[in-house]
């Protein structure tokens, strides 16, 4: 049996007795990016093998492979240009006194933070050669946009107004915002999160206010615990199982999948608010990665949406259009 690498830090075994459930778990970001990129490429290969009826289509990159390149760029920024404590201050300020609910950033705040704007320009510069011409040209134009225009688009995305920004551009803006926010929250929260009891209303990250990418049921030291994973800052926050992530209801929560009842990916729907999220059961399949496996299982979303359930999660590579 091979041991599986995880971006979730192990529990501190030196603490005696039964450990309290951690309200949030911060990822080891470098490992998270590596896992995500590898998983995206693995799923792309599987998809190509399936569609090519056993013959992998070599040399042609699909969307999952392209998403992996974006994640590689985030990993590069983390390694080559790590965020300083000083650059994290504007994000820490939004966290307020703790984890009761982060404030949304203003356009002015986003315009002042140079880190994510530089990250955006770097990602576009490196990846536009791999994109089809009209999309690449549109992105390069945005690269030369002024701070306030970039900030206005970023603020719209962070407010959930996805229609305000072209979906292709949103992926790049979000990737840059995410590598900024994930580092900033990691620098800010170890102090803020001490002994905190978490109250999260709706499906919103307590550290940045963004929607989750999906739910995870953990394995290993934290076997069976359910966390939601933030689409922006990558923090996982605890959510009691069989509770609707959107409205908190427990009476009409159902689980859906195409396969057997012990499927590793399930839709968790709520009959009260008609919201749903997808749950990735690492206790059943440790290789699952929320963002990558969500992107590779959008057929389940189509089936749930046909039954009038509304998706409550955001995949940073599939913005609603």
CB of 271 to Zn ion, least distance (A): 8
Tell me: does residue 202 bind Zn ion (CB under 5 A).
no
Tell me: does residue 312 bind Zn ion (CB under 5 A).
no
Q: Decide whether 160 or 249 has the Cβ nearer to Zn ion.
A: 249
Tell me: does residue 193 bind Zn ion (CB under 5 A).
no
Between CA 140 and CA 198 the distance in angstroms is 41
Q: Is 59 exposed, middle or buried (0-12, 13-18, 19+ CB in 10 A)?
A: exposed
Distances in Å between the Cα of 156 and the Cα atoms of 83, 106, 209 are: 23, 10, 13
Tell me: does residue 249 bind Zn ion (CB under 5 A).
yes
Q: Which two tokens stand for residue 162?
A: 């996805």
CB of 254 to Zn ion, least distance (A): 11
Q: Decide whether 61 or 272 has the Cβ nearer to Zn ion.
A: 272
The answer to whether 188 touches 210, Cβ cutoff 8 Å, is no
Tell me: does residue 228 bind Zn ion (CB under 5 A).
no
Total residues contacting Zn ion (rule CB under 5 A)?
15
How does DSSP classify residue 144?
Answer: T
Q: Name which of residues 121 to 180 contact Zn ion (CB under 5 A).
A: none
Tell me: does residue 205 bind Zn ion (CB under 5 A).
yes
Q: Could you say which of 207, 264, 265, 296 contacts Zn ion (CB under 5 A)? A: 207
What mask, x for binding Zn ion by CB under 5 A, covers residues 261 to 300?
A: ---------x-xx---------------------------
Question: What residue spans of the chain are helical by DSSP H?
Answer: 29-51, 63-80, 85-95, 107-112, 114-127, 133-143, 147-158, 167-192, 290-295, 298-306
Q: Which residue has the tokens 């929320």?
A: 290
Name the site residues for Zn ion (rule: CB under 5 A).
205, 207-208, 210, 230, 232-233, 235, 244, 246-247, 249, 270, 272-273
């Amino acid at each position: 049996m091979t041991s599986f690498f995880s971006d979730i830090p192990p529990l501190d075994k030196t603490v005696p007795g039964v450990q309290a459930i951690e309200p949030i778990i911060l990822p080891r970001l470098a490992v998270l990016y590596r896992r995500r990129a590898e998983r995206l490429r693995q799923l792309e290969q599987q998809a190509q093998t399936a569609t090519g009826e056993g013959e992998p289509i070599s040399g042609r990159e699909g969307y999952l492979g392209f998403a992996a390149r974006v994640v590689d760029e985030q990993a590069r920024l983390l390694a080559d240009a790590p965020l300083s404590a000083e650059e994290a201050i504007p994000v820490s300020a939004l966290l307020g006194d703790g984890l009761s609910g982060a404030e949304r950033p203003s356009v002015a705040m986003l315009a002042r933070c140079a880190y994510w704007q530089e990250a955006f320009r770097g990602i576009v510069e490196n990846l536009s050669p791999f994109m089809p011409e009209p999309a690449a040209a549109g992105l390069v134009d945005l690269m030369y946009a002024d701070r306030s225009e970039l900030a206005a688009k970023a603020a719209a995305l962070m407010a959930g107004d996805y229609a305000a920004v072209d979906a292709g551009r949103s992926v790049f803006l979000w990737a840059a915002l995410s590598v900024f926010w994930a580092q900033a929250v990691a620098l800010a929260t170890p102090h803020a999160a001490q002994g905190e009891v978490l109250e999260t209303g709706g499906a919103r990250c307590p550290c940045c206010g963004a929607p989750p990418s999906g739910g995870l049921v953990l394995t290993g030291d934290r076997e069976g615990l359910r966390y939601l994973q933030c689409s922006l800052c990558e923090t996982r926050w605890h959510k009691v199982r069989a509770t609707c992530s959107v409205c908190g209801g427990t009476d009409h929560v159902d689980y859906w999948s195409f396969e057997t009842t012990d499927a590793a990916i399930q839709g968790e729907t709520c009959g009260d608010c008609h919201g749903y999220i997808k749950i990735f059961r690492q206790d059943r399949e440790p290789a699952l990665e929320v963002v990558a496996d969500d992107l590779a299982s959008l057929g389940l979303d189509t089936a749930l949406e046909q039954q009038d359930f509304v998706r409550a999660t955001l995949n940073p590579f599939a913005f609603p259009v």
